[in-house]
Amino acid sequence: FTVTRKETTPFDGQKPGTSGLRKKVCSRSIFFSFLLCRSGSGGCYRTELRLACFYMHFATSLDRGDLVLMAIVTVFKQPHYLHNFVQSTFNALPADKVKGATIVVSGDGRYFSKDAVQIIAKMAAANGVRRVWIGKDSLLSTPAVSAVIRERVGADGSKATGAFILTASHNPGGPHEDFGIKYNMENGGPAPEAITDKIYANTTTIKEYFIAEDLPDIDISVTSVSSFSGPEGPFDVDVFDSTTDYVKLMKSIFDFQSIQKLLVSPKFTFCYDALHGVAGIYAKRIFIDELGANESSLLNCTPKEDFGGGHPDPNLTYAKELVERMGLGKSSSKDEPPEFGAAADGDADRNMVLGKRFFVTPSDSVAIIAANAVDAIPYFTSGLKGVARSMPTSAALDVVAQNLKLRFFEVPTGWKFFGNLMDAGMCSICGEESFGTGSDHIREKDGIWAVLAWLSILAFKNKDNLDGKKLITVEDIVRGHWATYGRHYYTRYDYENVDAGGAKALMAHLVNLQASLPNLNKVIKEIRSDVSDAAQADEFEYKDPVDGSISKHQGIRFLFADGSRLVYRLSGTGSVGATIRVYIEQYENDSTKTGRDSQEALSPLVEVAIKLSKMEEFTGRSAPTVIT
């Protein structure tokens, strides 16, 4: 192949967010069509304005006489857009991580991935990359990418030093929905801020990119290695099985035999919903082929480019089918729900864990996994190096860390901050309230790992119960945990796609409020006199204990004397407008009071949270979009 240099100009807004660059592929467009028609008795012409929200391809179906004004907003699909970001990434990496290097490219299979893989392969070739590794059908879950970087060895002994992950995670996919791309480093974790800042800076000044236009398109539907020759030497594309490396890693962490005993026991029933995301291919291999679960346990486990038109986010709002099956929905059938249910997001790094008619909050989930890991999971037999959570995640994990005398860290939102701790051997298990849980086996959160961790705990607790005695359920485990450690009532209110100006003003208002504690307490008492005093208020700032780097403005915290917390931050993963997240938490260690309904227990604090922030005044919203 030959290398072509293309001239280009920068695009605005190619700044990677919490987890990469996420934008619409090609957004819905508004067509104003002016239709001239003869009407009325005088037979004179009247102009009619028709305003409709159409898709671009409907343009051809408009009448000939129509005068059409179109506002079409394509983002990822516009010429050079992806190219600019990819070249800016290559330019941000150290030269030896590009020239002669091995780079993984794959993702959750969402719409535009197949085109993107071909473009990135051609650009990698042109930039002197030695090998590109692609999961079959361009599918690799985010945790599998991390595992592949860390574990896979090519036939010629090669190892990957980075990856382009093609996903917008839990955001919907399809021609008019989101596409995304992020870069992961040699440790298998997301690029640190020093690199993403450099990528962004490069996108603002880019003038050229390089591409091997005459490199043939790669057939990604079959596993094979294709070799090419370019101006700088050989270039290989290795299309490999998407599941092998990941399954091997899981088998080295968990006791598959004991999990299998649980899964095939008639006393235990199981259900897994991949929400049409990439988790499905791993679920089939692991739960069905390896662990012997019944095929009917799987819901939505064939990956689709548009996730079946749904929102691939595993929570009580979006994982509807599973929620109904588990007896938690409004129209749940009378059938006895399974004992255990779980779901994943589009790229399979998130998980939701449910028991029969029972929801496990992600903050509790990580605390429970940490409390039981040493007993139930072979990988942790020699002890935990430490545990960590993101700042808005509830303090359930803190209490476990205190009790078990474990090192504990509180980091900003986003998985990249856990990676440094793990690389330094300071942290074994970590989690986020946003349905993310994981360990130092890789450098991403891991949806299937979390499910296997729960199954391991259930298998361990029930090892003598499978024939005869009553099963210890998910609910029993959670209630038992609360009895020992106390309970953190927890909820998150999301206000999605609000006006960016309003969101900014709301945050500025909160920054003001946190500056004076006496004034803050006055305002709080005016709203509700029955909540405890705020003892501390600040903007969360994090100093990385490993490299000393500082991350500022990571959310506004109000910490109350009784251990309750209110946290506010703006989302960094959306693609339109702004999303405000409000995190509300209250600690209860009186074991007679840990069994209340969560929304009811939290209602005084929720009222304070909403009124304190003047939510309705700033955003016009009287209710959140999603409550988790």
Residue number with CB closer to Co ion (169 or 491)? 169
Give me the count of residues in the chain.
628
Contact 396, 431 (CB under 8 A): no
- Stretch of 345-353, 371-379, 583-591, 619-627 lying at the interface with Co ion (CB under 5 A): 345-353
CB of 628 to ligand VG1, least distance (A): 10
Chain centroid, CA 379 distance in Å: 25
Contact pattern for ligand VG1 over residues 470 through 499, marking x by CB under 6 A: ------------------------------
Residue facing ligand VG1 at closest CB distance: 169
Instruction: Extract the tokens encoding 124.
Output: 């990698």
Amino acid found at 527: I
By the 10 Å C-beta count (0-12 exposed, 13-18 middle, 19+ buried), 42 is classed as: exposed
Residue facing Co ion at closest CB distance: 169
CB of 576 to ligand VG1, least distance (A): 13
Query: Which of the choices ligand VG1, Co ion, none does residue 141 contact, using the CB cut-off of 5 to 8 A by kind?
Result: none
The one among 238, 339, 347, 433 contacting Co ion by CB under 5 A = 347
Contact 162, 152 (CB under 8 A): no
Distance CA 412, CA 419 (A): 12
CB of 142 to Co ion, least distance (A): 6
Distance CA 602, CA 32 (A): 47
CB of 228 to ligand VG1, least distance (A): 33
Q: Is 18 in the site for ligand VG1 (CB under 6 A)?
A: yes
| Beta-sheet strands, E only, within 39-124 | 45-54, 67-74, 102-107
- Please give the biggest Cα pair distance in the chain: 91
Q: Is 345 in the site for ligand VG1 (CB under 6 A)?
A: yes
CB of 553 to ligand VG1, least distance (A): 13
Q: Is 572 in the site for ligand VG1 (CB under 6 A)?
A: yes
CB of 286 to ligand VG1, least distance (A): 19
Residue number with CB closer to ligand VG1 (365 or 571)? 571
CB atoms within 10 A of CB 225: 14
Q: Where are the alpha helices (DSSP H) in 490-597?
A: 500-515, 517-527
Distance CA 366, CA 364 (A): 6
* 3-state helix/strand/coil string of 589-622: CCCCCCCCCHHHHHHHHHHHHHHHCCHHHHHCCC
Amino acid found at 222: V
Q: Is 573 in the site for ligand VG1 (CB under 6 A)?
A: yes
Assess whether 394 carries a catalytic annotation. no
Residue number with CB closer to ligand VG1 (339 or 432)? 432
Amino acid found at 547: D
Q: Is 19 in the site for ligand VG1 (CB under 6 A)?
A: yes
- Stretch of 333-341, 542-550, 570-578, 593-601 lying at the interface with ligand VG1 (CB under 6 A): 570-578
- Stretch of 80-88, 228-236, 348-356, 551-559 lying at the interface with Co ion (CB under 5 A): 348-356
- Stretch of 236-244, 339-347, 476-484, 588-596 lying at the interface with Co ion (CB under 5 A): 339-347
Residue number with CB closer to ligand VG1 (122 or 311)? 311
- Smallest CA-to-CA distance from 434 within 323, 314, 530 is with 314
Residue with tokens 């939290």: 602
Q: Is 170 in the site for ligand VG1 (CB under 6 A)?
A: yes
Instruction: Extract the tokens encoding 18.
Output: 């919490």
Query: Which of the choices ligand VG1, Co ion, none does residue 273 contact, using the CB cut-off of 5 to 8 A by kind?
Result: none
CB of 200 to Co ion, least distance (A): 21
Contact 511, 613 (CB under 8 A): no
Catalytic residue of the set 19, 169, 434, 575: 169
CB of 14 to Co ion, least distance (A): 20
Q: Which of residues 386-445 bind ligand VG1 (CB under 6 A)?
A: 390, 413-415, 432, 434, 436
Residue number with CB closer to Co ion (150 or 182)? 182
CB of 546 to Co ion, least distance (A): 24
Instruction: Extract the tokens encoding 238.
Output: 């290795």
Phi, psi of 31, deg, nearest 5: -105, 125
Phi, psi of 515, deg, nearest 5: -70, -30
CB atoms within 10 A of CB 356: 17
Contact 500, 13 (CB under 8 A): no
The one among 151, 349, 444, 585 contacting Co ion by CB under 5 A = 349
Residue number with CB closer to ligand VG1 (337 or 447)? 447
The one among 169, 372, 554, 628 contacting Co ion by CB under 5 A = 169
Residue number with CB closer to Co ion (337 or 362)? 362
Query: Which of the choices ligand VG1, Co ion, none does residue 19 contact, using the CB cut-off of 5 to 8 A by kind?
Result: ligand VG1
CB of 332 to ligand VG1, least distance (A): 27
> Which whole-number Å values give the CA distances from 95 to 84, 89, 100, 103, 128, in the listed order?
18, 11, 9, 13, 10
DSSP 95: G
| Beta-sheet strands, E only, within 185-302 | 208-211, 224-230, 233-240, 270-273, 298-299
- Stretch of 86-94, 169-177, 241-249, 257-265 lying at the interface with Co ion (CB under 5 A): 169-177
Query: Which of the choices ligand VG1, Co ion, none does residue 33 contact, using the CB cut-off of 5 to 8 A by kind?
Result: none
Q: Is 571 in the site for ligand VG1 (CB under 6 A)?
A: yes
Total number of residues that touch ligand VG1 (CB under 6 A): 18
The one among 169, 242, 315, 491 contacting ligand VG1 by CB under 6 A = 169
**β-bridge partners, 436:** 350, 432
CB of 390 to ligand VG1, least distance (A): 6
Count Cβ neighbours within 10 Å for each residue of 290-328 and write b for 16 or more, e otherwise: bbebeeebbbbbebbbbbbebbbbbbbebbbbbbebbbb
The one among 245, 349, 440, 446 contacting ligand VG1 by CB under 6 A = 349
Distance CA 121, CA 220 (A): 11
CB atoms within 10 A of CB 491: 23
Residue number with CB closer to ligand VG1 (144 or 458)? 144
Q: Which of residues 417-436 bind Co ion (CB under 5 A)?
A: none
The one among 238, 345, 444, 588 contacting Co ion by CB under 5 A = 345
CB atoms within 10 A of CB 390: 26
Distance CA 567, CA 622 (A): 19
Residues at the interface with Co ion (CB under 5 A): 169, 345, 347, 349-350
Catalytic positions: 169
Residue ranges that bind ligand VG1, judged by CB under 6 A: 18-19, 169-170, 345, 349-350, 390, 413-415, 432, 434, 436, 571-573, 581
